[in-house]
A and B are shown apart, each in its own frame.
Chain A
Amino acid sequence: MRKALGLAAFAAVLACGEANAQQVNVKIGVLSDMSSLYADIGGPGSVAAAKMAIADFTKDNPNVKVEMIAGDHQNKPDIGSQIANQWYDVDKVDMIIDVPNSGVALAVSQVANQKNKVFIVSGAAASDLTGPKCNANTIHWTYDTWMLANGTGTAIVKTGGDTWFFLTSDYAFGHALERDTIAAVEKAGGKVLGKVRHPLNTNDFSSFLLQAKSSKAKVIGLANAGGDTINSIKQAAEFGIVKGGQSLAGLLVFASDVAALGLPTAQGLILTETWYWDMNDTNRAWTKRWQQERQGKWPTMIHAGVYAGVLHYLKAAVALKGSVSDGKTVVAQMKSMPTDDPLFGKGTIRADGRKIHPAYLLEVKKPEESKHPGDFYKVRATIPTEEAFRPLKEGNCPLVSG
């Protein structure tokens, strides 16, 4: 009897051991803009962040084997969905992450849905990804246009900037950012006097800036990104826009953009982000590691989002014992588990796929206030988690309304 019990116990131990150490194999694809205007806000930096997440996770979970590939969507929705199709079908990729450029992200989100795989958005901004275009296979991690609009737009109207003129990038992202900011501005009691839509990758903004100037709006909202934002701000300084009493609102500005502008040109600019490298010791330590691969660069919130997104995905994969072939189940698992990572802290993923965490209203420092390289911002306000993102019921996401 004793012997039988002992055997049973031994068998149980074996079974448990096997369950714990069950081999988990997943394949992750980092799809980003590797060679054009968004390559510094995502691109190779996102690949580095994903690698760090994989290294950190597999160190503690040696039974997890993660393969990673990377690709360049060249900011073209057709190329993006073509790569996504091939990765999901041929290369057996389980999860795609990053995808800056909302046009491409919306296309990839559809592919992920059709193939029932997982898509975690870090780079793209359009709030439609968790709004009318949401689906059960997509999670939007880092930020979105509603959060940017709400953070920067509301804060500026409250401090007296109540008339607005928009310079808007003429594609999905710009339209979404403009729409969400107009809503935020009008809700806070402001008025929109005009807008102009410029093509992506515009070199010269002087014509648009003159139109903005003649509108006499107090605030010129820049609903664009990357090189377009840099050019707008650089030329606004040249045309004396700020000296003439109008102020600029950078609705989507990254640390890399501030580095490209230099503090003398960028100082005083108000912006919203969900993560800043110089905010606390954990972020600084992470940045130091990240910079081993990306020397002389500063990580953006998109890179932080890729790191955190990969970690959470791997946790879900382990919880599901490695059966990750059904994308909807994996995403449901990710939504049911609270998130907890060193960069964004504790948080949750809502039913519509929106990951929620606090946002920060930042102001670019004056050159003399900056103490060390990369010391770009002072934090003006923290927008708490429950206010930072669009309320669940206002998004018109079919997953929520049923």
Chain B
Amino acid sequence: MLAPRFGGDRMFEIFGIPSTALFGQLLIGLINGSFYALLSLGLAVIFGMLNIINFSHGAQYMMGAFTAYLILKYSGLGYWPALIIAPIIVGFTGIIVERLFLQRLYKLDHLYGLLLTFGLALIFEGVARNYFGSAGLPYTVPESLRGGQNLGFMFLPNYRAWVIAASLVICIGTWFVIERTRLGAYLRAATENPTLVRAFGINVPRMITLTYGFGVSLAAFAGVMAAPIYNVSPQMGSELIIVVFAVVVIGGMGSILGAIVTGFGLGVVEGLTKVFFPEASNTVIFVIMAIVLLVRPAGLFGRRA
């Protein structure tokens, strides 16, 4: 038995857990973190640019997964086309929401946007539950990503490897566009002083609308990514969104980099909790949130208090 197997070779132990097992758990944590990062990224973009706390983000994530299912059912198109089409469709519904409702709320307190999007989330979920029930819908891993690699310390399903890679690319790409390009500079300027930016001949309202649409389509993208491995049910978003909000708060509201780094980081922390004290795995993030808020009220990467 020379070949290293998962949990087999106890080189050294950390708190009674073999080190090899721990590597596996760290990797799993990173993968879960990539979902947190993708979702909190969308939230951070929307909050940073529109000053709207988008409580319907979880519902829009759910809509992404449901759209993928419906695309498969009615047009026979599988996972890969859905990964492009579903975010576009859901992003478009986001644009409608922004044009109809949200644009009237920018001048008001954050609370109004929060209440509106929370109400919309309840409606989206209720409609989905009414038509599809609560048990969930079947969706399988695409043929090309089935199976996995034996890394020695763990079995890594190909799909999870794809999730982590895609999420990293999207996160870094978004960060780059917003922080390092001219378009991003316009966006950031429009948040600071819309009147001045408009004076330069830039259509600020349209830019804001498209930004909201983009944030929503990020949620839908995460939803399609989740469909093959998580249960596709109407409440899939509301279960996740609370954690994602904690991630955003810890990272600093509106900070793109904060959202990404905390997303991955908290995934790892949660993963480790699942090994050492599984019962606390759904509370650990909130404990961290409380501590961070006590020490740094603006969050780890927040720009100002």
Does chain A bind chain B? Answer: yes
| Residues of chain A at the chain B interface (Cβ within 8 Å) | 35-41, 43, 170, 196-199, 201-204, 206-208, 210-211, 213-216, 226-227, 230-231, 234-235, 238-240, 244, 254, 256-257, 259-262, 264-265, 297
- Against A, the Cβ 8 Å flags (1 = close, 0 = not) of B138-162 are 1011000001100000110101100
- The answer to whether A208 touches B133 (Cβ under 8 A) is no
Say yes or no for B281: interface residue by CB 8 A criterion. Answer: yes
Between-chain CB contacts (< 8 Å), 15 pairs: A35-B134, A37-B235, A39-B129, A196-B278, A203-B230, A207-B25, A210-B28, A211-B21, A230-B136, A240-B157, A260-B138, A260-B232, A261-B138, A264-B138, A297-B133
**Among the listed A43, A198, A239, A265, which residue makes an inter-chain contact with B281, where contact means beta carbons less than 8 Å apart?**
A198
Is A235 within 8 A of B135, CB to CB?
Answer: no
Q: Is B45 located at the chain interface by the 8 A CB criterion?
A: no
A3 CB to nearest B CB, Å: 68
Once the chains bind, are A210 and B25 in contact (CB under 8 Å)?
yes
Question: Is the beta-carbon distance between A260 and B154 smaller than 8 angstroms?
Answer: no
Tell whether B282 is near chain A: CB-to-CB under 8 Å: yes
Closest-CB distance, B15 to chain A (whole angstroms): 14
Q: Are B233 and A262 in contact (CB under 8 A)?
A: no
- Which single member of B21, B138, B141, B228 contacts A214 (CB below 8 Å)? B21
B229 touches A234 (CB 8 A): yes
B239 contacts across to A, CB distance below 8 A: 201, 203
Contact partner of A202 among B25, B29, B135, B282, CB < 8 A?
B282
Q: Cβ of A239 and Cβ of B6 under 8 Å apart?
A: no
Q: Is the CB of A238 within 8 A of B141?
A: yes
Q: Please, which residue of chain B has its CB at the minimum distance from the CB of A228?
A: B231
A239 B275 Cβ-Cβ under 8 A: no
User: Contact size class for B?
Assistant: 35 or more
Chain B contact surface mostly: mixed
In this complex, what residue of A is CB-closest to B136? A260
**Nearest-CB residue, chain A, relative to B267:** A204
- A230 vs B232: C-alpha distance in the bound complex, in angstroms? 10
Are A239's CB and B271's CB within 8 A?
A: no
The answer, yes or no, to whether B7 is at the interface (CB within 8 Å) is yes
Question: Is the beta-carbon distance between B6 and A213 smaller than 8 angstroms?
Answer: yes
Docked pose: A255 CA to B15 CA in angstroms: 42
Inter-subunit contact B135/A199 (CB<8 Å): no
State A337–B24 Cα separation when bound (angstroms). 58
Known contacts A36-B235, A39-B133, A199-B279; is A206 also within 8 Å of B160 by CB? yes
Q: Does B99 contact A (CB under 8 A)?
A: no
B32 within 8 A of A: yes
Contact B137 A260 (CB under 8 A): yes
- When the two chains form their complex, are residues A238 and B135 in contact, meaning their CB atoms are under 8 A apart? no
Closest to B156 in A: A239
Chain A nearest CB, measured from B68 CB (Å): 14
A265: chain B residues at CB < 8 Å are: 138, 140
A contact residues around B230 at 8 Å (CB): 203-204, 231, 234
Known: A199-B281, A257-B135. A214 touches B231 (CB 8 A): no
B134 touches A207 (CB 8 A): no
Q: 8 Å CB contacts to A: which residues of B26-50?
A: 28-29, 31-32
User: For the complex, what is the distance from the CA of A210 to the CA of B282, rounded to whole Å?
Assistant: 18
Query: Within the assembled complex, what's the spacing in Å between the Cα atoms of A197 and B32?
Result: 19
Docked complex Cα distance between A208 and B273 (Å): 11
Pairs of residues from A and B, 10 with the lowest C-beta to C-beta distance, nearest first: A262-B138, A214-B7, A260-B136, A40-B135, A39-B134, A207-B274, A256-B135, A199-B282, A230-B231, A260-B135
